[in-house]
Structure 1
Amino acid sequence: MSPDAELAHSPGGEDLETFTNVFPNDEDEELLGAPVEKISPLGHQVTLLSCVMLNLGQILGSGIFSTPGVILNSVGSVGMLLLFWIIAPIFCFASLAVYSELASMFPNRSGAEVVYLEQAYPRPKFLVPISFAVTTVLLSFSATNSIVFAQYFMTLFDIQITSFRQSYIALSVAGFSVAVVAVSTKWSLRAVNAITLVKVLSNIFVALTGVAVLLKLTKISQPFENFRDPWADTSFNGNSLATALVKTHFAYVGWGNAFNVLGEVRSRDPVQTVRNAGGISLFISTVLFVFTNIAYVAAIPKNDIMESGQLVGALFFQRVFGESWASKILPLMVIISCLGNLIAVTVGHARVIREVARQGLLPYPEFFASTRPFGTPLGPVALKFALTALVIFALPARDAFNFLLDLASYPNLIFAAATAIGVWILRKRRAKAGMDPTEFKASDTSIVLYLLSCVFLLVMPWIPPEEGHADVSFWYATYCVVGIGIILLCGIYYWIWVVLLPKLGGYEIIEEVEELPDGARIAKLVRRYVDGKAPRDEEDLHTEQQPLLNS
């Protein structure tokens, strides 16, 4: 028996048979979401090490080198800065518990949130999947780390930073990253493993350098100056606190990246593997992040940190080592970290987009779901690059990083809150169906904690920040309005496509399963005319056999 076939017959696979595309309508037995792929056309090349590295590869990106200055500018005090780096992983551990339970319901499905939402909210039909699909696709760019890569690349080689140079260097590294993922899953995972190892060692080096600063083994004469009154100038403004939590949360984003490749995990218990990987990743990153921030605070005057923008890491090395060759070490670390992040994120996001396509919610689902010719999700990777390029050139360079970070977070918080509530919904349905409890069960405390963090981050950014503490030069809540606007556009699109046009055309939208030559399975959305009403012309006679989004 082949490895793929063997995994398909694992205990997780048996649970899959009884619960994937769960709870169909008893009357018409309609398909809910993407059809099951018992044997992954992407293979099973992901190990525990790969899961940990995929998580750390996304976590250890530009966040720790670029956000502390922005966070300190928002909260005002060193004490609050360090506190937020401890609070954020607590919410992440709660999220890990929630995802573990949901993953144990669907052990052979990649894509994580896209799967959980499609199953938890089947009514109104297509509404939640369409909203998540459109939002995910529109926000699946990797512009933030590409921009930080460009900034530190120019710093490393003493190139004057201009908007033009920043944009084209950012585009180049984004193109390289997606090319690696497009050509080979095996080699993209190997690249993530190698680069992430370098990133971990780099963060350890920064943390140990901070220890040397505190022990007065460097030229920093007053390493404890910023610690004498750590809570001085603390801002308790709601917008400032939300901004700080958004930024620290962004730095830890990636703890669940391995859930996106759950269907490709080489293990008898893939859920346990990704769960363990999440815990290991969060523990390592929390220790590294806290000690790295302590190093910054020990070596750099408070006001300089606040004014550093996204270059606090470079400032740290300049303060400790001066303008010697050593000051080039950190920019090199950052560009390596950003590169590893871009590859790791592309691996995960490509699977999410592929699952969206398998639901039938993208035009030409065969293209986006196919794994030909390299056994990789080439269509989703190409789409991700196109969106990244668009965003890089669409926004002013000065505000691009902070605005994109906030914008990418806001709509996702709405879906995160829905995911948390979805745990209770799916539990109730499983109990009603007489199914056994899942392997992992999140405590209600973890679910509530996860939900409260989402609500806090959705509400507090609307409160005006104190003067001088905004993180963009334009209106502080612009990203909230844009994020909500995207969700509303999804609703309008849904009403036109699923409600208005079928009513005018006398048809309903149904799902049909199609298996592609590479083994991929997709749901195609097609028209079924009702009440005996005929199509309006001869060409429409064939629309029932064509994907609705292509017709």
Structure 2
Amino acid sequence: MDEHSRSLADEELNAEVDLVGGIEPIAKDGGAPEEKAGVLGHEVTFFSATMLNVAQMIGAGIYAVPGVILTSVGSTGLFLIYWVLAPLFCFAGLSIYSELASMFPTRSGGEVVYLEQAYPRPRFLVSTAFAVTAVMTSLSATNAIVFAGYFLSACGIPITATSQTVTAVGTIIVTSLVVALSTKWSLRAVNVFSVFKILSLVFIVLTGAAVLSGLTPVKDPYSNFDNLFEGTSTNLNELTLGFVKVIYSFVGWHNAFNVLGEVKSRDPARTLKRAGLLSVFLIAILFFFINLAYVAAVPKEDMKNSGQLIAVVFFRNVFGTTGSKIFPLIISCSSFGNIIGVTVGQARMLREVARQGLLPYPKFFASVKPFGTPIGPVGLRGFLTSMIILALPAKDAFNFVVDLASYPNQFFQAATITGLWVLRRRRRKANIEPSPLQTSNIIVIGYLCLCLLLIILPWVPPTPGHADVSFWYATYCVAGVALLLCCGLYYWLWIIVLPKYGNYEIVEEVEESSEGAKNTKLIRRYKNMSADDETAPLLATPR
């Protein structure tokens, strides 16, 4: 047998870990192989890390979901409170991810790495489920759809299902090419767009201040502040969906952890924690005052009826026809930059999935040829995003994709948090000092409880007429659970049933390309092989 091959089925799985250098646990029972340093380069600075987070957080959310959230929660008061509570959720998650990153300071990929190391048994189960779910939900369909809507509005082109879909798909193609051709230039694009987006948000905040000061044509800017909690919903489904969409607006607080192995720093985990704190603090302040500006300039019922175009209504009310043409173009640029930033981070996550051997043709998806970028994962992500955009009705696509992407993620967030305790225990048994970035158990428990609530409460029926989509309100919950169950069924057939009746076992073989990229290839080794056959080619093909 090849010297790099090993049969995990023959090993008595030692659930603990070896500790390399007293820092990074390497599971004995699989996972992605260790690569030489610098395969993807070290282009990520503190500023770039901050901007990667900012690029994802400032996207479709702040320009698209406020009206939908107000419709869900019912009152202006609770609407504004949600924008204060959501950042606390992000700070808690940031603290947890920083501790995990300190345990794996050379591994990019974020959550996929933490799950791989925390749950080595049953062999491949958690990794397979996360791999399939990550591939299906780590998409930019929502931002592409919002970009298309605002771009068409700015150009004066009628927004139809066809025009919005074609524009969204074209956007995905262009942004994928940018990330695939150069990491350095894609990061520069992220930096430029992020600075532009921050300045745009500051301008909206200042505009809101002008509205409240009576310096604009908006009449009675304080009308929405009367009876702040009048109309507050008591339906748990509606309250939960509103909070999910506020959290969606902050998605990206952990984007930089996906490029941890590319950080130019002696202590990359601490660098990313500082970058995360700065980015969340900055965006939390801007988002709150932007929503205050929306409340001041847009009547409550107009906010609820604005769909994903509340910013267009805001600018039209404040600046008239000129504002409704120019500022949607600014917002579309924001969504465009978001797609680039998300693609940079998510492509690394998908590459780590491939390096575990959990995608077909893992060597191709792990390769960084010819441009030193993960071109395979970028292309896969672009293709699947385009398919989602083409498959869903335009009017339901945004809400459905947001909800579907968020729901399975709560299961993996809960698993990641629980895995933190597992990894801590292993380090204690190995007499390793706790991480210097260790977070409080109170924060961990609170974050876990919120994840569990976001899993349970969406099943509660909403008030008639208040569902997020035109079809059954819990379709996205069923789709999310079905996706996870399909992963379990696939695992049962692939790892248990087929090897048992096919008289073979799953073997991992490490492949290394000329540029130093490494990946695991999963192959079949039949149990009736003779001793002489051990040196022969394996009688299997990669999964």
What is the TM-score of this pair, normalised by structure 2?
0.94
Kept in 1, the 8 Å contact 2:25–2:104? The answer is no
Partner Cα separation in structure 2 for residue 15 and residue 533 of structure 1: 34
SS at match of 1:233: coil
Letter in 1 for 2:305: E
The correspondence for 1:373, drawn from 365, 370, 375, is 370
Residue number in structure 1 paired with 2:405: 408
Residue number in structure 1 paired with 2:270: 272
Partner Cα separation in structure 1 for residue 309 and residue 122 of structure 2: 46
Residue number in structure 1 paired with 2:202: 204
The correspondence for 2:464, drawn from 436, 447, 467, is 467
Partner Cα separation in structure 2 for residue 400 and residue 152 of structure 1: 15
Counting only pairs closer than 5 Å after superposition, residues 483-498 of structure 1 correspond to structure 2 as: 483-498=480-495
2:85 is equivalent to residue 81 of structure 1: no
The CA deviation string for residues 501-526 of structure 1, in whole angstroms up to 9 with x for no partner, is 11112121122222211111111212
Partner Cα separation in structure 2 for residue 543 and residue 245 of structure 1: 52
Residue number in structure 2 paired with 1:51: 49
SS at match of 1:192: helix
2:423 is equivalent to residue 426 of structure 1: yes
Partner Cα separation in structure 2 for residue 207 and residue 200 of structure 1: 11
Question: What displacement does 1:542 show?
Answer: 3.2
The CA deviation string for residues 244-297 of structure 1, in whole angstroms up to 9 with x for no partner, is 111001000001000000000001110011111110110011000000000000
Kept in 2, the 8 Å contact 1:16–1:107? The answer is no
The correspondence for 2:32, drawn from 31, 34, 53, is 34
Question: What displacement does 1:469 show?
Answer: 2.0
Residue number in structure 2 paired with 1:125: 123
Residue number in structure 2 paired with 1:5: none
SS at match of 1:543: coil
2:541 is equivalent to residue 543 of structure 1: no
Partner Cα separation in structure 2 for residue 420 and residue 547 of structure 1: 36
2:383 is equivalent to residue 386 of structure 1: yes
Letter in 2 for 1:246: V
2:130 is equivalent to residue 115 of structure 1: no
Letter in 1 for 2:26: V
Letter in 2 for 1:279: L
Partner Cα separation in structure 2 for residue 478 and residue 426 of structure 1: 35
The CA deviation string for residues 70-111 of structure 1, in whole angstroms up to 9 with x for no partner, is 000000000011111111111111000110110000000000
2:458 is equivalent to residue 458 of structure 1: no
SS at match of 2:505: strand
Kept in 2, the 8 Å contact 1:38–1:108? The answer is no
Residue number in structure 2 paired with 1:508: 505
Partner Cα separation in structure 2 for residue 371 and residue 110 of structure 1: 14
Letter in 1 for 2:150: Y
SS at match of 1:527: strand
**CA distance change for structure 1 residues 17 and 133 in 2, over 3 Å: closer, same or farther?**
farther
**CA distance change for structure 1 residues 60 and 130 in 2, over 3 Å: closer, same or farther?**
same
Residue number in structure 2 paired with 1:182: 180
Question: What displacement does 1:18 show?
Answer: 4.4
Partner Cα separation in structure 2 for residue 168 and residue 361 of structure 1: 32
SS at match of 2:94: helix
The correspondence for 2:297, drawn from 292, 296, 299, is 299
Kept in 2, the 8 Å contact 1:21–1:35? The answer is no
Question: What displacement does 1:134 show?
Answer: 0.7
**CA distance change for structure 1 residues 318 and 480 in 2, over 3 Å: closer, same or farther?**
same
SS at match of 1:259: helix
2:281 is equivalent to residue 283 of structure 1: yes
Residue number in structure 2 paired with 1:9: none
Q: 5+ unaligned residues in a row in structure 2: which ranges?
A: 1-17
SS at match of 1:22: strand
Partner Cα separation in structure 2 for residue 384 and residue 447 of structure 1: 31
SS at match of 1:262: helix
Q: 5+ unaligned residues in a row in structure 1: which ranges?
A: 1-13, 25-29
Residue number in structure 2 paired with 1:227: 225
Partner Cα separation in structure 2 for residue 413 and residue 151 of structure 1: 29
Residue number in structure 1 paired with 2:11: none
Partner Cα separation in structure 1 for residue 267 and residue 23 of structure 2: 17
Partner Cα separation in structure 1 for residue 162 and residue 59 of structure 2: 23
Question: What displacement does 1:476 show?
Answer: 0.6
Letter in 2 for 1:99: Y
Residue number in structure 2 paired with 1:519: 516
2:338 is equivalent to residue 341 of structure 1: yes
Kept in 1, the 8 Å contact 2:19–2:26? The answer is no
How many residues align? The count is 524
Residue number in structure 1 paired with 2:64: 66
Letter in 2 for 1:392: I
Kept in 2, the 8 Å contact 1:140–1:387? The answer is no
Kept in 2, the 8 Å contact 1:152–1:335? The answer is yes
Residue number in structure 1 paired with 2:151: 153
Residue number in structure 2 paired with 1:439: 436
Kept in 2, the 8 Å contact 1:506–1:533? The answer is no
Kept in 2, the 8 Å contact 1:21–1:34? The answer is no
Taking only aligned residues, the RMSD between alpha carbons, in angstroms, comes to 1.6
Partner Cα separation in structure 2 for residue 40 and residue 293 of structure 1: 42
